[in-house]
Structures are given as C-alpha cells and as structure tokens.
Amino acid sequence: MNRSPRRRVLAASLSATAAVLAAAGSVLLTAGSADAATTLGASAAATGRYFGTAVAAYKLSDSVYSTILDREFNMVTPENEMKWDATEPSQNSFSYSSADQIVSHAQSHNQRIRGHALAWHSQQPGWVSSLSGTALRNAMLNHVTQVATHYKGKIYSWDVVNEAFADGSSGARRSSNLQNTGNDWIEAAFRAARTADPAAKLCYNDYNTDGVNAKSTAVYNMVQDFKARGVPIDCVGFQSHINAQSPVPSDYQANLQRFANLGVDVQITELDIEGSGTAQANTYATVVNACLAVARCNGITVWGIRDSDSWRASGTPLLFDNSGNKKAAYTSTLNALNAVPPTGPTTGPTGPTNPTDPPPSSPTTPPAGAGCSATVTLNQWTGGFVATIRVTAGSSGLTGWTAGVALPGGAAITNTWNATASGSSGAVNFTNVSYNGSVAAGNYTEFGFQGTGVGPSGTPTCTAR
Ligand code: G3I
C-alpha cells in the first residue's frame, strides 16, 4: 500500500466506561448553550467546530473588511490566491505572495487555513493548455507537491481535488484535461498531497453534491473505494452555493451523515444563500443545524464576508450587508450555533485518519473538582503531531484557565489555535484566548497545537485562573 508515514492516534485518557462516556455525552449536550458566545467563531468553537470565510488578499487593507474578519472568523480560505493560475503562473515558477499574505494574516489572528485548491480543471495557468498525457500528469503532481510543501504544517485542510465530477444523472467524472490523463489522477493527487504535508486533512470538494443525488453518490462511491484501498482521504467538502435554482435539499443532513459514516470528516466549504430577510435567515439556520447535527461536520465556511464581496453579489447571499452591518441571516446563524442540538460536536482527532489507524479515541474526562481538568488526544506521525487538548470545568465553572504539557526533547510547537502558548518546547503552558476563557460548570472547551517531533504524553495539568 502506498501510504503516508505511519500515524498513531493515542489518547492519554482514563479507561473508558459506559458510565463515563454517558457523562461525557451529557457534557456535549450542554457545551456552548450555557454561555452564549457573541461571535460566529467563538460560538462554533464552543461546539468543537470552526466558522470560516473566503478571503481575498487585496481586501485585507479594507478596515471594515478586516475588522469583521478578525472579530468573527477563525478559519480562512483564500478565495483565489492558492489556485493553480495564481501559484504557478509559468511552469515550475511559483508565486506565493498573495496567498502568503492571507496565511500570515490568519496566523497572526488565531485563524486556521483551508487550502483551496490544488488540482482543478478551472483557473489553470495558460501554459497547462499545451500539455497532455504524462507531461500534464507530472505537471499536476509537481504542482500539488510544491504548493503543499510550501504551506506544510500551516494548513488545516486542503481541497486537494475540486469539482471532478460531472453534473446531471450520469455519475461520471467531468471530462477535463486532468481526467484525460487517466482515471487515477485523483488518487495520485491525494497521495502526493499526503506525502508533502502529512498533517493537513485532505478533502475532495464539489458543488451540487449537497443532497443525495447521482453526482453526490458518485463521489460517495469514490470515497468508499479510497477508504477501502487506503488512498489517503480525510474529508469531503460540500460547497453549498444555494439559490432558487439550487435550494437546500431536504436530505442535506442525511447526505452529510452518509459521508461521515464512511469514516471521513465533512465540511461546508463555500456557503452562500441568495435571498434576504427571514427566508434567507431561516435557510442559513437550516444549514448550520445540519452541520451541528453531524458529529463529523468540522465546521462551516461562508464564501465571503459582505454581500458586495460575493461572486454572486447581486443575490445578496452573505451574512453582512455592503456596509458591513450584520443581517438577519447573521443573527439566525449565531443563534443556531449557540443552541447546539442534541448530537454534540465531533470527538475525533483533528488530524488525518487512515483505515489502518487505530480507531480515534475520545478522551474521557477525569473528575475536575472545583477547578478544571484536561485531557489530550494525540495524532502522531513520523516527524510530527497534532494535539487536541480538552479543558473541562469543575463544579464552579471557569472564567479563565491554563493547561500545561511537557514536550519531550526535540519536539517543537509550530502552530497553536484557540489558546496562547508560553513557549514552543519543553514545559509549555497554554492560556485561554478572549473567547474561550469562560466555561460553565461541567462544560468543556478545546484548543490544539501542531508540532514537529514527538507530541506530549500523560495527562496535562489544568489550573483555573
Ligand atoms: O483579479 C482580476 C482583475 O485584475 C481583472 O480585472 C478581473 C476581470 O475579470 O478579473 C479579476 O479576477 C477574477 C477573480 O475572480 C478575482 O475577482 C477572475 O476574472 C474571476 O474568474 C475570479 O472568479 C472566481 C471564480 O472562483 C473563478 O472560477 C471567484 O472570485 C471565486 O469566488 C470563485 O470561487 C469558486 C471556487 O473556487 C470553487 N467553487 C465555486 C466558487 C464560485 O464560483
């Protein structure tokens, strides 16, 4: 089997008993609802999810835009800047300045990054059109490898392949120059991406796959086949561009769930809903609730901030109006996030999974008394790791917390989210950020970090502040 470095999922946790799991389950039911957060990112984080937006580099200097971005969102997707035409304008000559600008903005504002998109039939640079066969296959693989390597360790999930299936009832692959290089081009792209950046979740991303239909079933069959054969795939992105011609399907949630049942995460990757007022607000709530009801739905990304930022601006499909004011759709989205329905957040590890890995284990929660307790879930591979720490409030609730881990010699933290780290090696303390210091009694919040070397073992310390 051609696969990435072996990864182990370790849970430094107490032995799981049905009773403890049941108790943990009841925590999941209440997480987020006791302490309604006031921004999309914080509210999503309270459910173990993210809330993201597409970002255009040239708009970062617009203060209305960047103020909303940095207040509301904790995940960003470069809208065009990581695409093939932007990153490799001439063959083997790479241009990362606009994408780097978004990445560095995100990193300095506690936002994670969805990479979009490594291999796609659209927005290819001109030089690609003269290639075919092996030359095109190799150029595509080189592109995947170079770009994923440039951003290695900085990407939460990559849209490795975008929009490779045809619309309509055929269930066929889209005819394209990439498809003409052989039906295995998709798995070849995923393998190259895994080798280049083993920490990133690798997603297949498409539109008109939001309900159960011939196109989504064709994608489903591909994912099932990939999982069976050990082709590295971790997630499926559902773009969810909604309008009158393409309404939210009644089986939207069921469709997300059937993919999750294959053992992949699901993500809503490019959400926009044309319309206005209450109808639009209700549709946003429907989509948010569907994600919240699927444990493996990691989060939601809207495709722009203000209506005027949208590729479909005339349809006013976003959460903020042209002046940056919150719309009714914003309020319904926030309210839905703050009223977590009774399925709870995902409890799996944040990193990639593979069929041969041990099943991901959820940390059980040791008694916290009046203070707090912490557990770690570790996704370890050769040379690196992602650690997810769960901080659980004791009987008094928390207004701030510090969790500590001891990293073995040679390990170094490269990236932290939802907490501030005191250092990058040895004994490291993590303190809450502004939006996750308050945790009601018995509830929990999660933060994470990524590093090189071997991740922490043992039970983290936890102190109420
Ligand atoms: O930057 C140039 C500008 O210099 C020039 O004057 C102008 C003239 O047309 O074009 C500008 O580039 C445009 C770019 O957006 C930035 O605005 C491109 O023409 C235009 O094609 C491009 O459109 C993007 C589209 O993908 C391309 O396929 C949209 O912004 C972007 O939102 C859209 O995003 C896609 C996802 O990647 C995949 N899923 C569907 C989604 C919506 O189409």
Beta bridge partners of 265: 235
Query: Is the distance from the beta carbon of residue 122 to the nearest atom of ligand 1 less than 6 Å?
Result: yes
CA 279 / ligand 1 centre spacing (Å): 28
Please provide residue 415's backbone torsions phi and psi, each rounded to the nearest 5 degrees. -165, 130
Query: What does pTM read for this prediction?
Result: 0.76
Residues in the chain: 465
Mean pLDDT over 205-231 rounds to: 98
How do residues 233-264 score in pLDDT, each as one tens digit?
999 999 999 999 999 999 999 999 999 999 99
Please provide residue 451's backbone torsions phi and psi, each rounded to the nearest 5 degrees. -155, 175
Mean pLDDT over 275-297 rounds to: 97
Pick from 136, 152, 140: nearest CA to 96? 152
187 in catalytic set: no
How do residues 100-121 score in pLDDT, each as one tens digit?
999 999 999 999 999 999 999 9
Pick from 47, 17, 24, 6: nearest CA to 445? 47
Q: Which atom of ligand 1 is nearest to the CA of 54?
A: 32
| Tokens coding 338 | 């703050």
| Tokens coding 135 | 């030359």
Edge-first strand listing for the sheet containing 444-452? 7-12, 372-381, 384-393, 444-452, 412-417
Query: Is the distance from the beta carbon of residue 176 to the nearest atom of ligand 1 less than 6 Å?
Result: no
Mean pLDDT of the chain: 87
CA 80 / ligand 1 centre spacing (Å): 7
Residues 6+ apart with CB under 8 A from 284: 273, 319, 329, 332, 333, 336
Query: Is the distance from the beta carbon of residue 239 to the nearest atom of ligand 1 less than 6 Å?
Result: yes
- Any idea which residue has 């099932």 for tokens? 224
Supply the DSSP string of 43-95, one letter for each residue: HHHTTT-EEEEEE-GGGTT-HHHHHHHHHH-SEEEESSTTSHHHH-SBTTB--
CA dist list (Å): 449 to 134, 385, 418, 419, 461: 39, 8, 9, 9, 16
- Any idea which residue has 């103020």 for tokens? 67
Low-confidence winner among 59-73, 84-98, 442-456 (lowest mean pLDDT): 442-456
State the amino acid at position 162 in one-letter form: N
For residues 434 and 109, which has the higher predicted lDDT (pLDDT)? Answer: 109
How do residues 311-335 score in pLDDT, each as one tens digit?
999 999 999 999 999 999 999 999 9
| Top mutation candidate among 58, 80, 102 for ligand 1, by most atoms within 8 Å of CB | 80
Q: Which atom of ligand 1 is nearest to the CA of 207?
A: 39
Query: Is the distance from the beta carbon of residue 311 to the nearest atom of ligand 1 less than 6 Å?
Result: yes
How do residues 161-187 score in pLDDT, each as one tens digit?
999 999 999 999 999 999 999 999 999
CA 160 / ligand 1 centre spacing (Å): 19
Nearest CA to ligand 1 atom 23: 311
Residue 94 pLDDT > 90: yes
Q: Residue 365's pLDDT is what?
A: 52
State the amino acid at position 337 in one-letter form: L
According to DSSP, residue 171 is labeled -
Low-confidence winner among 18-27, 47-56, 357-366, 435-444 (lowest mean pLDDT): 18-27
The residue annotated as part of the active site, out of 163, 187, 274, 446, is 163
Cα dihedral sign for 446, 272, 53, 36? negative
CA–CA separation, 250 vs 256, rounded Å?
Answer: 12
CA–CA separation, 452 vs 444, rounded Å?
Answer: 27
On whether the CB atoms of residues 446 and 33 are closer than 8 A, the answer is no
- Beta pairing class for 461-464 and 401-406: antiparallel
Query: Is the distance from the beta carbon of residue 121 to the nearest atom of ligand 1 less than 6 Å?
Result: no
According to DSSP, residue 21 is labeled H
Q: Residue 284's pLDDT is what?
A: 98
Q: Which atom of ligand 1 is nearest to the CA of 83?
A: 37
How do residues 31-69 score in pLDDT, each as one tens digit?
334 457 899 999 999 999 999 999 999 999 999 999 999
Read off the pLDDT band of 366 (50, 70, 90).
Answer: low
Our separate counts of H helices and E strands in the chain read: 11, 18
Query: Is the distance from the beta carbon of residue 85 to the nearest atom of ligand 1 less than 6 Å?
Result: no
163 in catalytic set: yes
